[in-house]
């Protein structure tokens, strides 16, 4: 694969975009001595989820939304007006992310772009000395995710993955219950998601709208004519730019499943099937998927997602343990019980049939996992936690460090690869490659379009 460093990229970009090519100095401890020092954040991509980014930062003391960045300049007036209404100042605007990297005034970037940009932007930001908040799924591929972890560690950056269920008090309380052992050993997690989505229909290629920087939107993806279905939100439904709805909706709950199982390793086997049903449209990614992940110790994650006609799921997360189970239904409930023979005299019937298996009861008690917050713990948003860790430089206090984000995003990538190849796959957690399947291994990365190249070494 051709390689480019951030400096190379900036030099090449300068030839066509007038960008200064000098690499900024890495700042390693600017906030450590002064928690009141202002932090300047640039929010990148805000047509959808990104709006919640700038709204959150604009309300924080000693945090400033220094810049808004999006490839669609038509979005700037409303976003600037909203920040001004909330915070009393106007942020700068910039359609080209590359120009943010050289600004010494920007301390962090908060990324809410389409999936295919997450990895490159995060790596380049780390190289430029910026801390990073990056939306889920953190990467477009397994290879990207690993390089993001390497970049964060090499440049000593605080990088928060946007798996924001980890900041929810009830979720944190449920995970503490599981890890505390009250339900015994947890051997299986199940994710069941029903999220209705209509078809996107068909759209013809058309001229690029005024104010839209289409080449910047495509970035590392293949060059294609402008098409409305491939732009705002529609990008979720094409393999060039999306990780499917598994990476969009499912990654939150599969992250909770992996967290509850206390797995900080990859599974060794994955099998996923799915398809595109009902809608006649331009969509490429599946609208139903079913997957199973098997870990080396035998524990599993079962996953099912549907965007179509299906009964609403009562519990998007369920955990099965040796003494009971835990469900996210009704705001998280646990069941603790014990199998008992109803009548030991009937353990063996008069006909000599052993009824031990069927002649049992399951007395059980329902209870909530416990206080959602530990003593002294305060409820903190995912964004606030990121800012706090920027000031302290304590990566270990992040709700979801980039490596956790990589581990969960990798589950989405592995499932999609199994679905696209049509077979069960064996994975080597150490090498992060599939065993004996070169076709599957080709999906672990992508072909990058110049000059938007992934560096061989960060």
Instruction: Note the pLDDT of residue 35.
Output: 56
Examine the pLDDT at 360 and tell me if it is beyond 90. Answer: no
Q: What is the mean pLDDT of residues 47-56?
A: 92
CA atoms of 257 and 273, how far apart (whole Å): 19
The token duo for 401 is 């460090």
Locate tokens 């199982």: which residue? 261
Q: What is the mean pLDDT of residues 271-289?
A: 97
6-164+380-401 and 169-377+408-442 in the same fold? no
Instruction: Note the pLDDT of residue 446.
Output: 98
255 φψ region: left (φ > 0), alpha (ψ -120 to 50), beta (else): alpha
Q: How confident is the model at residue 33 (pLDDT cuts 50, 70, 90)?
A: very low
CA atoms of 408 and 405, how far apart (whole Å): 5
Q: What is the mean pLDDT of residues 77-90?
A: 97
Locate tokens 């909330």: which residue? 86
Number of H helices, E strands in the chain: 13, 18
Instruction: Note the pLDDT of residue 378.
Output: 86
- Sorted by sequence, the CB contacts under 8 Å of residue 181 that are 6+ apart come out as none
Instruction: Note the pLDDT of residue 346.
Output: 61
361-372 in b/e form (b: 16+ CB < 10 A) is: eeeeeeeebeeb
Instruction: Note the pLDDT of residue 338.
Output: 79
332-343, pLDDT tens digit by residue?
999 998 777 666
Instruction: Note the pLDDT of residue 221.
Output: 98
128 touches 101 (CB < 8 A): yes
Average of per-residue pLDDT values in the chain: 91
84-107, pLDDT tens digit by residue?
999 999 999 999 999 999 999 999
Instruction: Note the pLDDT of residue 179.
Output: 97
For the chain, percent of residues with pLDDT exceeding 90:
82
Q: What is the mean pLDDT of residues 360-374?
A: 79
Say whether pTM exceeds 0.85.
Answer: yes
Instruction: Note the pLDDT of residue 119.
Output: 98
Q: What is the mean pLDDT of residues 130-155?
A: 98
Domain boundaries, the chain: 6-164+380-401, 169-377+408-442
Instruction: Note the pLDDT of residue 337.
Output: 84
The token duo for 407 is 């581990």
Q: How confident is the model at residue 354 (pLDDT cuts 50, 70, 90)?
A: confident
Q: Which fold has domain 6-164+380-401?
A: Rossmann fold (3.40.50)
Examine the pLDDT at 204 and tell me if it is beyond 50. Answer: yes
The CATH H-level superfamily of 169-377+408-442 is Dihydrodipicolinate Reductase; domain 2 (3.30.360.10)
- Sorted by sequence, the CB contacts under 8 Å of residue 160 that are 6+ apart come out as 132, 133, 134, 382, 385, 386, 389, 398, 399, 400, 401, 402
Q: How confident is the model at residue 11 (pLDDT cuts 50, 70, 90)?
A: very low
Q: How confident is the model at residue 344 (pLDDT cuts 50, 70, 90)?
A: low
- CA distances 370 to 191, 331, 376, 416, Å, are 22, 12, 15, 36
Examine the pLDDT at 44 and tell me if it is beyond 90. Answer: yes
């Amino acid at each position: 694969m051709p390689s480019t460093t951030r400096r190379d990229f900036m030099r090449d970009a300068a030839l066509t975009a007038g960008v200064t090519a000098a690499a900024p100095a890495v700042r390693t401890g600017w906030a450590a001595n002064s928690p009141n020092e202002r932090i300047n954040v640039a929010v990148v991509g805000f047509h959808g989820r990104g709006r919640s980014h700038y709204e959150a930062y604009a309300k924080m003391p000693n945090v400033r939304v220094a810049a808004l960045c999006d490839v669609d300049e038509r979005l700037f007036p409303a976003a600037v007006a909203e920040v001004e209404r909330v915070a009393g100042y106007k942020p700068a605007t910039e359609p080209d992310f590359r120009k943010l990297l050289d600004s010494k005034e920007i301390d962090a970037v908060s990324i809410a772009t389409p999936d295919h940009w997450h990895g490159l932007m995060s790596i380049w930001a780390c190289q430029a000395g910026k801390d990073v908040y990056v939306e889920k799924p953190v990467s477009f591929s397994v290879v990207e995710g690993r390089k993001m972890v390497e970049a964060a560690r090499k440049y000593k950056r605080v990088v928060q993955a946007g798996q924001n269920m980890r900041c929810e008090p009830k979720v944190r309380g449920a995970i503490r219950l599981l890890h505390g052992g009250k339900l015994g050993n947890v051997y299986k997690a199940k994710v069941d998601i029903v999220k209705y989505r209509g078809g996107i229909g068909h759209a013809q290629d058309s001229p690029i709208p005024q104010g839209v920087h289409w080449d910047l939107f495509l970035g590392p993806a293949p060059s294609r004519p402008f098409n409305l279905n491939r732009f705002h939100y529609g990008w979720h439904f094409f393999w060039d730019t999306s990780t499917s709805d598994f990476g969009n909706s499912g990654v939150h709950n599969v992250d909770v499943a992996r967290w509850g199982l206390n797995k900080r390793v990859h599974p060794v086997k994955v099998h996923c099937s799915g398809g595109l049903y009902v809608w006649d449209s331009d969509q490429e990614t599946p609208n139903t998927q079913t997957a199973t992940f098997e870990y080396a110790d035998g524990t599993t994650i079962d996953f099912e997602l549907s965007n179509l006609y299906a009964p609403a799921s009562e519990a998007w997360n369920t955990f099965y343990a040796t003494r009971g189970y835990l469900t996210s239904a009704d705001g998280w409930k646990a069941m603790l019980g014990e199998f008992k023979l109803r009548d030991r005299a009937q353990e063996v019937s008069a006909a000599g049939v052993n009824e031990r298996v069927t002649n049992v009861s399951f007395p059980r008690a329902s209870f909530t996992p416990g206080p959602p917050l530990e003593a002294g713990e305060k409820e903190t948003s995912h964004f606030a936690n990121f800012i706090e860790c920027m000031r302290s430089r304590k990566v270990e206090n992040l709700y979801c460090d980039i490596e956790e984000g990589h581990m969960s995003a990798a589950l989405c990538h592995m499932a999609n690869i199994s679905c696209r190849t049509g077979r069960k796959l064996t994975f080597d957690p150490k090498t992060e490659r599939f065993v004996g399947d070169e076709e599957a291994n080709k999906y672990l990365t992508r072909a990058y379009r110049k000059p938007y190249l992934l560096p061989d070494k960060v």
